[in-house]
Amino acid sequence: MQQVNLGMIGGGTVGSGVFHALQLNGGLMASRIGVKVAVRKVAVKAFNEPRPYQIPRSLMTLDWQSVVNDPQVDIVTELVGGTGIARTMVLAALKLGKPVVTANKALLSAHGEELFAAAKKYGTNLYYEASVCGGIPIIKSLREGFVGNRIEALYGIVNGTCNYILTRMKLEGADFDAVLTDAQKQGYAETPPDLDIDGHDAAHKIGILASLAHGFWVNPKKIHVEGIRHVSALDIKFAGELGYTIKLLGIIKRIDDLRLTIDATKNKPARKSNIVNRKCKVQVSVYPTLVPNAHVLASVNHVFNAVFVRGDIVGDTLFYGRGAGKDATASAVLSDLADAALDLKSGCKQRVPPFVPHECAGAVMPIEDAVSQYFLRLNVVDRPGTLAKIAAIFGAAKIGISSVIQPEGHEGKSVPLIFMMHYATNGAVNGALKKISRLPVIKGKPVMIRVENFE
């Protein structure tokens, strides 16, 4: 049986997980692909650093360059994370013509175009299944399984920390801060937790998926990102009473070359019949969203991830599983190692290129132009005329109100007032809320959460 030698950079949680998975199932993988993947060297930060699985001391080195430059190493894995030294490591391996497997979403989000160009220039490949949603094979599905589909929409619960927090807030009626503190104690949230709860981790992943789905590299700065800090137990309670569950969603919607408008007679987005331009416009966003309880994404709980994909030919599909952790990530890395080994065996290192730009005129739609429905919570002074003043501002902005709820049992200087709004652009709603927030009867900052009905 043919053998390829693997040089690993990173022997911590993920790296040792990959090593352990290879020891456990390397023989099975070899029997399936006809190539044995053998670990030759593992570069680590320290020989005695804590790791969930042990790596033989004879395989470890503190010098990552000795791994990359070893002529006996055929494939390199980068499992150190970050965007600094990791970029240097990956480029060094690619320049030697060696295929690289990475799980580094932040690196790809920041430097993907450069790394893919380097792989093409030096006649090798970059594999990155593990960079998005751990054990869910969403990268391969978009690149290969759905190659004959236009991706009309993609909705992803892609951050397990946020999903865990929102699930517990719903099930227990607990406040955000209390659940976050407990999540940190249990190891489900980092300290500090900003990367997760402010939506940036999800943005890295959703940017990669948007680029693959629509054929132009999405600049991370163009992605609209909101986290879950402002979501309260009160919002989750009222959403539940209305038949919704709040989830942090990464949303990718193809608008094509037809401008979305609001059809006032049907209260739904409608495409104009005339073509405005020839650009592929795509909404790429991360924000908390009200999901109907009847939709499958509403039942994805705790640390699990799910990606809902709508193709123009295949229709609706769902991918579900663990999105992080040493074992789920190791499974995805092994999948990439198998592909890299097969490509080396066949003598074709770029059988499936890492990224092919095929929609160069594409552009990310500004969030102000995106169309949605909305859940709004205002704290108001309970006096006659308050609702009329608020409704007048919405009316002037041509934003329709679907329903209004003023819950009983709330007393004090201010009470919550809940609005469900018809379809409108984000720009129109935010403009109206700025005016409403200046009314003397409004106490505190208005809370706006978008509603997704997957139409």
pLDDT in tens, 52-98: 999 999 999 999 999 999 999 999 999 999 999 999 999 999 999 99
Same domain, 73 and 117: yes
> 15 falls in which pLDDT band (50, 70, 90)?
very high
Same domain, 107 and 223: no
How high is the pLDDT of residue 101? 98
pLDDT (average), residues 265-283: 61
pLDDT (average), residues 360-385: 92
Nearest to 188 by CA among 286, 324, 14, 53: 324
Nearest to 239 by CA among 401, 403, 387, 393: 403
Q: Are 327 and 53 in contact (CB under 8 A)?
A: no
How high is the pLDDT of residue 408? 76
Same domain, 123 and 49: yes
Among candidate residues 205, 247, 253, 326, the one labeled active-site is 205
Report the C-alpha gap between 222 and 49 in whole angstroms: 38
Q: Which of 265-269, 278-282, 306-310, 444-448 has the lowest mean pLDDT?
A: 265-269
Same domain, 166 and 286: yes
Same domain, 381 and 236: no
Per residue in 100-157, pLDDT tens? 999 999 999 999 999 999 999 999 999 999 999 988 999 999 999 999 999 999 999 9
pLDDT (average), residues 150-171: 96
Same domain, 209 and 81: no
Same domain, 81 and 230: no
Residue 445 or residue 256, greater confidence: 445
- For residue 143, count CB atoms less than 10 angstroms from its CB and return exposed for 0-12, middle for 13-18, buried for 19 or more: middle
Residue % of the chain over a pLDDT of 70: 94
Residue type, 380: V
Q: Are 52 and 18 in contact (CB under 8 A)?
A: no
How high is the pLDDT of residue 188? 85
Q: Is residue 358 part of a domain?
A: no
Per residue in 381-430, pLDDT tens? 988 899 999 999 999 999 999 999 988 766 667 899 999 999 999 999 99
pLDDT (average), residues 331-348: 95
What CA–CA distances, in Å, run from 430 to 166, 397, 399, 434, 450? 24, 10, 11, 6, 12
Same domain, 340 and 255: no
Report the C-alpha gap between 152 and 257 in whole angstroms: 13
453 pLDDT more than 60: yes
Does the global pTM surpass 0.85?
yes
Same domain, 291 and 397: no
Nearest to 276 by CA among 292, 261, 294: 261
Segments forming the whole domain that contains residue 190: 143-321
Q: Which CATH number covers residue 391?
A: 3.30.70.260
Q: What tokens were used for 422? A: 């018809």
Same domain, 129 and 159: no
Q: What tokens were used for 324? A: 């992080």
Q: Is residue 362 part of a domain?
A: no
**Total number of residues shown for the chain:** 455
> 18 falls in which pLDDT band (50, 70, 90)?
very high
Distance of CA 428 to the CA centre of its chain: 26
Please give the angle made by the CA atoms of 195, 214 and 212, to the nearest 5 degrees: 55
Q: Is residue 353 part of a domain?
A: no
Q: What tokens were used for 411? A: 């007393």
Same domain, 197 and 216: yes
Omega before 193 cis (within 30°)?
no
Q: Is residue 352 part of a domain?
A: no
Q: Is residue 361 part of a domain?
A: no
Report the C-alpha gap between 40 and 58 in whole angstroms: 10
Q: Are 214 and 280 in contact (CB under 8 A)?
A: yes
pLDDT (average), residues 258-282: 57
258 pLDDT more than 90: no
Report the C-alpha gap between 115 and 215 in whole angstroms: 16
Q: What tokens were used for 197? A: 């709860």
pLDDT (average), residues 300-310: 97
Residue 445 or residue 360, greater confidence: 445
259 pLDDT more than 50: no
Q: Is residue 355 part of a domain?
A: no
Report the C-alpha gap between 415 and 315 in whole angstroms: 44
205 labelled catalytic: yes
Q: Which CATH number covers residue 244?
A: 3.30.360.10
CA neighbours closer than 13 Å in the CB half-sphere of residue 256? 12
Q: Are 93 and 68 in contact (CB under 8 A)?
A: yes
How high is the pLDDT of residue 267? 67
pLDDT (average), residues 282-310: 97
223 pLDDT more than 60: yes
Q: Is residue 105 part of a domain?
A: yes
Using the Cα atoms of residue 17, residue 248, residue 176 and residue 445 in order, give the sign of their dihedral: positive
Same domain, 394 and 422: yes
Residue 276 or residue 181, greater confidence: 181
Q: Is residue 360 part of a domain?
A: no
266 pLDDT more than 70: no
How high is the pLDDT of residue 349? 79
Q: What does the mean pLDDT of the chain come to?
A: 92
Total domains in the chain come to 3
Q: Which CATH number covers residue 73?
A: 3.40.50.720
42 pLDDT more than 70: yes
SS (H, E, C) the chain: CEEEEEEEECCCHHHHHHHHHHHHHHHHHHHHHCEEEEEEEEECCCCCCCCCCCCCHHHEECCHHHHHHCCCCCEEEECCCCCCHHHHHHHHHHHCCCCEEECCHHHHHHHHHHHHHHHHHCCCCEECHHHCCCCCCHHHHHHHHCCCCCEEEEEEECCHHHHHHHHHHHHHCCCHHHHHHHHHHCCCCCCCCHHHHCCHHHHHHHHHHHHHHHCCCCCHHHCEECCCCCCCHHHHHHHHHCCEEEEEEEEEEEEECCCEEEECCCCEEEECCCCCCCCCEEEEEEEEEEEECCCHHHHCCCCEEEEEEEECCCEEEEEEEECCCHHHHHHHHHHHHHHHHHHHHHCCCCCCCCCCCCCCCCEECCHHHCEEEEEEEEEECCCCCHHHHHHHHHHHCCCCEEEEECCCCCCCCCEEEEEEEEEEEHHHHHHHHHHHHCCCCECCCCEEEEECCCC
